[in-house]
Amino acid sequence: MAGLALGAVTALAGCQVDTSGEPSVRVSRLPEEPVARSSPPPSPSDAPAAVPEPSSPAPRTSSSTPSPPPPPPDPVLMRSGQESGQVRELQARLQQLKLFSVNPTGYYGDITTASVKAFQRKQGSPRTGNVSPSDWTALRARTSQPTKLELHPTTSRPLADPDPRCRTGRALCISKKSRTLAWMVDGEVRSAMDVRFGSAYTPTREGKFKVDFKSRRHHSTIYDTPMPYALFFSGGQAVHYSADFAATGYSGASHGCVNVRDKKRIIALFDAVRAGDKVVVYK
């Protein structure tokens, strides 16, 4: 029995007989129970992103730097109600640009204000009707220095642009549109005066002519009327002084001649013009 028990124990214990004579015992380990292993701490990359808590918007704060003040308005150099030589120059320069429809007077009134606004509109500047230093600089840059005749005209209306045929040599340049006569030498206006023309029944002829002859104390035998300081240019038609034109103005008309009402100026013109000088009558 003892041998059987020892064999059973040996079988259970897995004993083997050692050649040394002593039993060698090999203990078989029972299967281990699963051991709960703790997971390693997650790496920062594996960790879920933290969801920020909603925060209230930051309160608005006013800027510490104040906004710059608006630029000051341009100073006024000339304005309505003024009267001066500079205003006269202003009007003459505006007239060169066809923005001033009457002759310079030196007084800054409604017509001048409207003309200045028209210029400012062309320049793209504020249409105040007053002349600022920048307006004056721009106007002077676009015009030439007015002549004495432009500043102090001797006609009631501005001179028309001269006909191209008047721009060379010596010419009596007579515009029916502006009703003016300009005595020009090599394109320069030497004198100017108001004129009137013939009626629809006796019109003043248009075209290019020349002075045929001069007659200081001429008297028309056809119409029995004086024609002093006559400069004949086309048959019986002439430039001459008219006492009727001086007295009644444009309410009357000539019989085809070019009437002048300024006696002092026609006398000076008569003395300056020579036979053969051009006469250009145009619309």
Alpha-carbon distance of 273 to 267, in angstroms, equals 10
Residue 54 has what pLDDT?
A: 54
90 plus 179 within the same structural domain: no
Distance between CA atoms of residues 65 and 63, nearest Å: 5
Among residues 149, 166, 187, the one where a domain terminates is 149
Same domain? 261 vs 184: yes
Residues 170 and 250 in one domain: yes
Contacts of residue 248, defined as CB under 8 A and 6 or more positions apart, other chains included, come to none
Burial 86-112 (b: 16+ CB within 10 A, else e): ebbbbbbbbbeeebbeebbebebeeeb
Task: Please give the pLDDT value at position 13.
Answer: 40
The number of angstroms, rounded, from the C-alpha of 174 to the middle of its chain's C-alpha atoms is: 34
- pLDDT of 31 reads 47
Query: For residue 62, what pLDDT is reported?
Result: 54
Other CB atoms within a 10 A radius of the CB of residue 66 amount to 7
pLDDT score at 72: 72
Q: Which pLDDT band holds residue 23 (cuts at 50, 70, 90)?
A: very low
Cβ neighbours of residue 26 under 8 Å, at least 6 residues apart? 13, 14, 15, 16
| Residue 221 within any structural domain of the chain | yes
> How high does pLDDT run on average in the chain?
85
Task: Mark whether 215 and 275 lie in a shared domain.
Answer: yes
pLDDT digits (tens, 9 = 90+) for 149-163: 999 999 999 999 999
Exposed e or buried b per residue across 205-219, where buried means at least 16 C-beta atoms within 10 angstroms of its C-beta = eeeebebeebeeebe
Query: Residue 110, SS3?
Result: helix
Lowest mean pLDDT among 41-50, 91-100, 229-238: 41-50
Rounded-to-integer distance, Cα 283 and Cα 271, Å: 26
Beta-bridge partners for 10: none
The predicted pLDDT at position 56 comes to 56
Residue 255: which of 242, 264, 266 has the closest Cα? 242
Which of 100, 115, 149 is the endpoint of a domain?
Answer: 149
* Domain assignment of residue 266, yes or no: yes
Shared-domain flag, residues 172 and 252: yes
Q: Is residue 197 part of a domain?
A: yes
186, pLDDT greater than 60: yes
Question: Do 137 and 161 share a structural domain?
Answer: no
Residues 112 and 190 in one domain: no
Distance CA 176, CA 157 (A): 12
Extract the tokens encoding 28: 């078989």
105 is written with which tokens? 């007077």
Among 105, 126, 149, identify where a domain stops: 149
* Residue numbers of the domain that contains 235: 156-282
> 205 with 113, same domain?
no
For position 198, which CATH number holds?
A: 2.40.440.10
Mind listing the pLDDT tens digit for each residue in 214-272? 999 999 999 999 999 999 999 999 999 999 999 999 999 999 999 999 999 999 999 99
CATH number, domain at 121? 1.10.101
Total tally of structural domains belonging to the chain: 2
8 Å CB contact between 232 and 224: no
User: Residue 56 domain-assigned?
Assistant: no
**Which pLDDT value is given to residue 16?**
42
pLDDT in tens, 122-171: 999 999 999 999 999 999 999 999 999 999 999 999 999 999 999 999 99
Residues 117 and 222 in one domain: no
Residues 113 and 209 in one domain: no
Regarding whether 165 and 274 lie in a shared domain, the answer is yes
204 and 257 in a common domain: yes
| Residues ≥6 apart with Cβ < 8 Å to 23 | 10, 15, 16, 17
CA dist 143 and 29 (Å) reads 121
What is the pLDDT, as a whole number, of residue 57? 58
